[in-house]
A and B are shown apart, each in its own frame.
Chain A
Amino acid sequence: DTAVSQTPKYLVTQMGNDKSIKCEQNLGHDTMYWYKQDSKKFLKIMFSYNNKELIINETVPNRFSPKSPDKAHLNLHINSLELGDSAVYFCASSQARTSATDTQYFGPGTRLTVL
């Protein structure tokens, strides 16, 4: 059973398009995250949700909008895609936001290429 899953695995699209990436976790965790990993492998937090509530919103363009329909899902919608959005996007989850000691479990990543 996949603990944290993302779809699609690869996404190739043109500049200006709108696209979504979906994430689901079956671990019963309360907290979910989106990270962006750039071409140099640098990993940076974008958003975090706890039980459908936004708790971390880093300096991310407002073209990026996370949506959490329930605590097992956190989707990422990106409007007006730009070349600089090309990266690997990772979803992750952890048990509870109130514990700084929680381990995060990562999905396999979605490689987004904007042409």
Chain B
Amino acid sequence: AQSVAQPEDQVNVAEGNPLTVKCTYSVSGNPYLFWYVQYPNRGLQFLLKYITGDNLVKGSYGFEAEFNKSQTSFHLKKPSALVSDSALYFCAVRLHTGGFKTIFGAGTRLFVKA
């Protein structure tokens, strides 16, 4: 079965420290991977995506993600967290078939403490 896993319900980090939000996937074929962020009472916003090429993808608000094919992971990272980064983060994989359906992970809540 094709799936996306975010093993941590919540990540806590102090402002100024690096942050990592983990994501692993299981899909057939080459994966198309996405990260979205959801602020309270808002819709999801696109952060970045991996399609092909360089394994390190840079996105909005200073976030980046590293695609690791051998570990089937696509972890989201930021060198220095801000309090304003506190939000719910979703990893997603877009399938190649079935209407290009997107499967979302369960989400990871990030708390950045001042």
Contacts and interface: CB of A to CB of B under 8 A. Distances in A.
A104 B98 CA distance: 16
A114 interface: no
B42 A99 contact: no
A108 to B, nearest CB: 5
B92 to A, nearest CB: 9
B106 A108 contact: no
Contacts of B43: 4, 90, 92, 106-109
Given A48-B101, A103-B34, A42 B42 contact: no
Interface residues of B, number: 26
Interface residues of A, number: 26
A97 B99 contact: yes
5 contacts: A41-B106, A56-B99, A90-B43, A100-B32, A107-B43
Interface of B: 32, 34, 36, 38, 41-46, 49, 51, 88, 90, 94-96, 98-104, 106-107
